[in-house]
Chains A and B, each alone.
Chain A
Amino acid sequence: DAKTTQPTSMDCAEGRAANLPCNHSTISGNEYVYWYRQIHSQGPQYIIHGLKNNETNEMASLIITEDRKSSTLILPHATLRDTAVYYCILQGGATNKLIFGTGTLLAVQP
């Protein structure tokens, strides 16, 4: 079973910031928080990851709480092309396999 919980769906207006939350209260010390997204049955696309510090790249920002029990993915200026299912996944520890939950369906509205 996935060790993360995410809202099933969210809406966001085009051009606004999209903030996607993720809870991972049982995260282990050596597990990273990874975010992927899947646009309409395409292959999952890597977005960003972090261990304990906040991270930013050209796609998004990742905010991880100090206790590491939750995180937020921020898409600063959402576009229609950002409509996708977003997955928050813990990676590391004893296994390499990714365990996908149900993710959050982000619908960007015009």
Chain B
Amino acid sequence: NAGVMQNPRHLVRRRGQEARLRCSPMKGHSHVYWYRQLPEEGLKFMVYLQKENIIDESGMPKERFSAEFPKEGPSILRIQQVVRGDSAAYFCASSPPGPSTDTQYFGPGTRLTVL
């Protein structure tokens, strides 16, 4: 059973461009979470999605950031008009359908560098 997959692993964008980060959950998992880790800082929750629904986006910046988890295909974290402060590692996690206590399994992350 393949783990959580994220691509690209590394992404370089210039200021003002758009960044799209993709996350394919583990097989059978319908819950997806995105976390961000700024340089030399801890991981911070961004958003929690189930298929076609955003459940909790309390950690998402109010502007430029959006996330989706369509019925078919991977979850997408989209950052519009990137700025240098968006440079970070973005981790996706998934868990099976079930209670909030289910284990979250993390992907390897996407490292975004904004020039």
Q: Is the interface of B mostly helix, strand, loop or mixed?
A: strand
Interface size band for B: 20 to 34
- A96 adjacent to B42 (CB under 8 Å): no
Complex Cα gap A94–B88 (Å): 28
| 8 A-B residue pairings within 8 Å (CB atoms) | A43-B107, A43-B108, A44-B93, A96-B33, A96-B104, A97-B48, A97-B58, A98-B35
Q: Chain B, 72-115, contact with A by CB distance < 8 Å: what is the 0/1 string? A: 00000000000000000101010100011101111111000000
- A97 adjacent to B43 (CB under 8 Å): no
Interface residues of A (CB under 8 A from B): 30, 32, 34, 36, 38, 41-46, 49, 91-103
Q: Is the interface of A mostly helix, strand, loop or mixed?
A: loop
Q: Across the interface, name the chain A residue whose C-beta is closest to B101.
A: A92
Interface residues of B (CB under 8 A from A): 4, 31, 33, 35, 37, 42-45, 48, 55-56, 58-59, 89, 91, 93, 95, 99-101, 103-109
Complex Cα gap A99–B107 (Å): 17
12 other contacts beyond A38-B43, A42-B109, A96-B104, with CB at 8 A cut-off?
A43-B91, A44-B91, A46-B105, A93-B100, A96-B56, A96-B100, A97-B56, A97-B59, A98-B93, A100-B42, A101-B42, A103-B42
